[in-house]
């Protein structure tokens, strides 16, 4: 499962009570061991600060996700369409991001409806740079039918 699936459908919301860490860089993440077709891939993190609020931009698999570290719960809703352009479900994601010392903590609640099946997940992860400036994500996710621990380490690219 790619990082976006875990995280958020995971980096979008938080008010900083402490200075937000610099997480920017280019990293190589390992292949997903649960998916035999998965290969190592690049993860790019950039960030900017406007009026004291840090926004992180995470690009993975040619898709960018923004995480606003303002401490607020942000809600994203959307619809899924089938190959004929007909509505085939939808999603609602509630996400909150906060800066904590040298890390950011992201919590998320997601509900999806696809082909008449309901999928619900709750996750909490912490993202930070380790001593060697590698990008790490640790936490857990509970979802319809189970749960999983998250322990991801992406090596900093030279």
Task: Give me the half-sphere count of Cα atoms (radius 13 Å) on the Cβ side of residue 141.
Answer: 24
Residues 57 and 49 sit within 8 Å (Cβ to Cβ): no
**All domains of the chain in start order, with CATH:** 3-156 (2.40.128)
Average pLDDT over residues 116-124: 94
C-alpha 11: how far from its chain's center?
4
Say yes or no to pLDDT of 1 above 60.
no
What pLDDT does 34 receive?
Answer: 77
What pLDDT does 18 receive?
Answer: 58
Report CA-CA distances (Å) from 48 to 16, 21, 22, 149.
13, 11, 10, 30
pTM above 0.85, yes or no: no
Residue 3 neighbours by CB under 8 Å, 6+ apart: 10, 29, 43, 58, 60, 137, 152
What pLDDT does 8 receive?
Answer: 37
Where is pLDDT greater, at 138 or 4? 138
Residues 7 and 108 sit within 8 Å (Cβ to Cβ): yes
Say yes or no to pLDDT of 4 above 70.
no
């Amino acid at each position: 499962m790619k990082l976006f699936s875990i995280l958020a459908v995971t980096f979008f919301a938080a008010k900083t009570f402490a200075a937000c860490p610099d997480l920017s860089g280019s990293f190589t993440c390992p292949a997903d061991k649960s998916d035999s077709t998965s290969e190592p891939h690049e993860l790019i993190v950039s960030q900017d600060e406007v009026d004291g609020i840090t926004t992180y931009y995470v690009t993975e698999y040619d898709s960018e996700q923004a995480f606003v570290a303002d401490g607020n719960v942000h809600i994203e809703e959307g619809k899924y369409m089938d190959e004929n352009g007909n509505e085939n479900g939808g999603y609602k994601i509630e996400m909150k991001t906060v800066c904590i010392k040298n890390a950011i903590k992201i919590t998320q609640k997601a509900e999806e409806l696809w082909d008449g099946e309901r999928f619900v997940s709750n996750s909490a992860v912490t993202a930070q740079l380790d001593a060697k400036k590698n990008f790490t994500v640790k936490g857990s996710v509970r979802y319809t039918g189970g749960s999983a621990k998250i322990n991801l380490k992406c090596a900093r690219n030279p």
